[in-house]
Structure 1
Amino acid sequence: MNLLGREERVGHQSCSPSVILAPGFAKWWGSDGRALAQALRRLGQRVLDLDEEDYVSWRPQGVGPKVIRRMFGRVWIADYNEAVLRQATASSYDFILSFKGNSLKPQTIRQLRAVGKPIYNFYPDVSFEDHGPNIPLNLKLYDCVFTTKSYHGEREIKRFGIRDLKHVRHGFDPEVHRPISLTPQLIEHYGCDVSFVGCWSPEKEARLLYLVRECPQISVKVYGMGWNYASSEFRKRIGQNLKAGVFGDELSIVYCASKVNLGLLSFSNSDATLRDQTTARTFQIPATGSFMLHEDTAEVRTFFEDGAEVMLFSSNEEMVGKIKTALGSPAEREAISQRGYERCLAEPYDYASAAYEILRYFMANTDRRGRDSDLTPDPINTVGAPTGRSAPQLHVIQPGR
């Protein structure tokens, strides 16, 4: 399906291309930060991204690196905050968009606010309180917080003093999450009946442990960080199929090589009442043309049709039953995968929708309104621009694969 060439407009609003100072936007292939930055660039925006991970290591492996991080973490974070302020002083920009912002100190944001430019936050995680002390303190300092969690609302506004809260959704990166042609070597290395990619949690372990207990004949691979915290029984049953995290193209390879990809959701560590309804995996898996069996929520049903584009489950028993159905019906599994993939492209479910909403908010709260053509993406960078029926309509060139 080629999505290039189609144009849409939304209402009568438009604005000149903006320059966005973007602290916290990871640049690595497959990151959500990069996906959002690329979506903004495809709309003709200029993104001055500062990758927090250039300053602060968040994935140290081994005892030595972990000790070094503990010793120097505060120094690295201070250096990162100084770099953000230096960039803000040196650059000309229209607004600031922080991605998550767990290493930004409140005093840094106050200094940025003193410049008089709007400052927003994009927040992709379950809870505002699970990722260090800075985030809860910073929320009241942003002009607007864009959250991917539909359950963030009045409670969070009151608790954290949030000035304005807007809901956007997760998405896939069309440059990264796409169908991958598998060689026999890749199938041999990555192939399995069922896989799950994601960080450990007690709830996810319980689901997977039920599966491997009930169906020891089904090959299950688990990729991600934190699984060293899993029970000895789980680690023994999974054995060599418990793998390190996979990212970028390797993530897409894993999805394509797995007959069934599980979409398991997270709970908040700090508040048991907070539970994911969708996550980035919700869109990334079907965007690769792969089969997804996802935990059932009202929200995921607004994006995909159960039994036609994905499969959904509500209990461990239903999960196992649908895994057996999918494994026993390759033709049906492939048909569902294809329809889910087509739905991802038709909407599209990339990060363009979130990028649109951020730009629309900026337009609505400033006097900068230009011609309709001002939001036409750069002609050299149009892959993945949004197109579908549910995306907010600004003047754009549509995406291709």
Structure 2
Amino acid sequence: MKKQLKVLAVGAGWRGSNSKSLFNGFSKLGCDVRIIETDGYFYNYSIPERLYMKVRKVPLKVKFQKFNKTIERTIDSYRPDILFVVKGLWVTEAIIQYAKLRGITTIHFHPDFLFDDRYHTSLILDKAILSYDMVVTAKTTEVEKYKQYGCRNVHFMKYAYDPDIHHPVQLSAAEKRGFQTDVAFVGRMEPPRADALNSLAKENYDLKVWGTKWDKIPKNYELNKYCEGRPIFCEEMAKVFQGAKVSVGFLTQLSAEQHTARTFEIPACRGFFLGTRTEEHVEIFKPGVEADFFGSTEELAEKVAFYTRNDELRARIAQKGYEKVIKLDATYENRVKGILDFAEIVQSGSDRLVLR
């Protein structure tokens, strides 16, 4: 009889997060999964806590210690085969070593940039990352940087979509009023993104912009009237992609990013994906057939003008893009299978899980 893999998963537990979808991927593959959510320990900081973190570079000691002690105690009681940590900013090196001494395979996935975006790392993670048996990244440019930093086993994994969340939906009459638009964007504000979208706003397109930091754009931007003032998740995000004629997929300027989760989420909702032109994007989707791409603000404006006027072509491309992500099986379940394959972790009853 095959042994059921036991996975202790540590990360954000809210529905729609990369981590939660990955944890569900383990479950769908037949693993027994126990989750320690970081949500309850971190992220909802008071002003005093934020000041403390700014000076000490770690959360309050009581939270920090309780969090790591919880992981330690769960390791002892649950005895997992795998410790899978997503964005382990506050998981200490000592905890990783504690797990490894008990024969547990340790894996870390960082959904953001560890090296090029210092906002998404910590001194704790900088030290602990070297102790993991395996690290996973969805950022092409990070692979070699992990290796140069000293990480032994680095696995590149493309982002994915969650079929339980990202799928075509039927909009009600009220939802059409709330979500139908010419152009939509879901993501955080970065100045180049704001400038490009403001150019479209000046052309009197109907826009809807969802995400964080958009209150920071210049007050004189036309774009201000199109910012929804909040992030959007799960089924609501699917409705955004379904309701927009064009869903724009910007990439961050923090590094040479090649694709993001939106690359798969938008087509999975049968939305029309107009993304930044990169080698990976062009490898995934045939330009003008399954999606389309732009390389400048001027080209973005040209493509928006063209596709908002050509309903039949736009619908055909959106359908082809949807069919492509289904064919690719670009799901989190499939990504987890890739992680397990890379780590040579097989559900065959082996007492010791061995990395290549």
- What TM-score comes out, normalization by structure 2 length? 0.89
| Secondary structure, counterpart of 1:87 in structure 2 | helix
Q: Deviations over 1:268-323 (max 9, x none)?
A: 3xxxxx22100001100100011111000001112111111111111111101110
Equivalence map 1:182-193=2 (5 Å): 182-193=171-182
Residue matched to 1:290: 271
1:200 maps to amino acid: M
Shift of 1:71: 5.8
Assess if the C-alpha contact under 8 Å between 1:220 and 1:238 holds in 2.
Answer: no
Shift of 1:370: 5.5
Equivalence map 1:210-229=2 (5 Å): 210-213=199-202, 215=203, 217-229=204-216
Residue matched to 1:347: 328
Assess if the C-alpha contact under 8 Å between 1:291 and 1:337 holds in 2.
Answer: yes
Following the alignment from structure 1 to structure 2, what is the Cα–Cα distance between the partners of residues 49 and 262? 34
Residue matched to 2:41: 55
Shift of 1:180: 1.2
* 1:369 maps to 2:343: no
For residue 130 of structure 2, the aligned residue among 115, 118, 140 is 140
Assess if the C-alpha contact under 8 Å between 2:272 and 2:291 holds in 1.
Answer: yes
Following the alignment from structure 1 to structure 2, what is the Cα–Cα distance between the partners of residues 207 and 107? 46
2:140 maps to amino acid: S
Equivalence map 1:205-354=2 (5 Å): 205-213=194-202, 215=203, 217-234=204-221, 237-239=223-225, 241-268=227-254, 274-354=255-335
Residue matched to 1:127: 114
Following the alignment from structure 2 to structure 1, what is the Cα–Cα distance between the partners of residues 319 and 154? 35
The structure where helix makes up a greater share of residues is: 2
Q: Which has the higher contact order (CA 8 A, sep 6+)?
A: 1
Residue matched to 2:354: none
2:100 maps to amino acid: R
For residue 203 of structure 1, the aligned residue among 177, 192, 198 is 192
| Secondary structure, counterpart of 1:49 in structure 2 | strand
Residue matched to 2:65: 78
Residue matched to 1:3: none
Following the alignment from structure 2 to structure 1, what is the Cα–Cα distance between the partners of residues 344 and 302? 49
Q: Deviations over 1:201-256 (max 9, x none)?
A: 2222222223223x1x101111111223322233x532253320001111111111
| Secondary structure, counterpart of 1:242 in structure 2 | coil
Assess if the C-alpha contact under 8 Å between 1:126 and 1:266 holds in 2.
Answer: no
Following the alignment from structure 1 to structure 2, what is the Cα–Cα distance between the partners of residues 257 and 84? 42
Assess if the C-alpha contact under 8 Å between 2:207 and 2:226 holds in 1.
Answer: no
| Secondary structure, counterpart of 1:130 in structure 2 | helix
| Secondary structure, counterpart of 1:169 in structure 2 | coil
Following the alignment from structure 2 to structure 1, what is the Cα–Cα distance between the partners of residues 216 and 72? 38
Shift of 1:107: 2.8
Shift of 1:355: 0.6
Following the alignment from structure 1 to structure 2, what is the Cα–Cα distance between the partners of residues 168 and 86? 30
- What TM-score comes out, normalization by structure 1 length? 0.79
Residue matched to 1:394: none
Shift of 1:185: 0.2
Shift of 1:200: 1.4
Unpaired runs of at least 5, structure 2: 54-58, 351-356
Assess if the C-alpha contact under 8 Å between 1:40 and 1:355 holds in 2.
Answer: yes
Alignment RMSD: 2.2
Inter-CA distance 174–70: structure 2 relative to 1 (3 Å threshold) = farther
Residue matched to 2:160: 171
Shift of 1:55: 1.6
**What number of residue pairs does the alignment pair up?**
341
Q: Percent identity?
A: 26
Inter-CA distance 239–66: structure 2 relative to 1 (3 Å threshold) = farther
1:81 maps to amino acid: N
1:265 maps to amino acid: L
Following the alignment from structure 2 to structure 1, what is the Cα–Cα distance between the partners of residues 229 and 193? 15
Assess if the C-alpha contact under 8 Å between 1:18 and 1:45 holds in 2.
Answer: yes
Following the alignment from structure 1 to structure 2, what is the Cα–Cα distance between the partners of residues 120 and 162? 11
Inter-CA distance 205–135: structure 2 relative to 1 (3 Å threshold) = farther
Residue matched to 2:56: none
Following the alignment from structure 2 to structure 1, what is the Cα–Cα distance between the partners of residues 287 and 5? 40
Equivalence map 1:5-44=2 (5 Å): 16-24=3-11, 26-44=12-30
Following the alignment from structure 1 to structure 2, what is the Cα–Cα distance between the partners of residues 85 and 139? 17
For residue 110 of structure 1, the aligned residue among 93, 97, 100 is 97
Unpaired runs of at least 5, structure 1: 1-14, 269-273, 372-401
| Secondary structure, counterpart of 1:359 in structure 2 | helix
Q: Deviations over 1:370-398 (max 9, x none)?
A: 69xxxxxxxxxxxxxxxxxxxxxxxxxxx
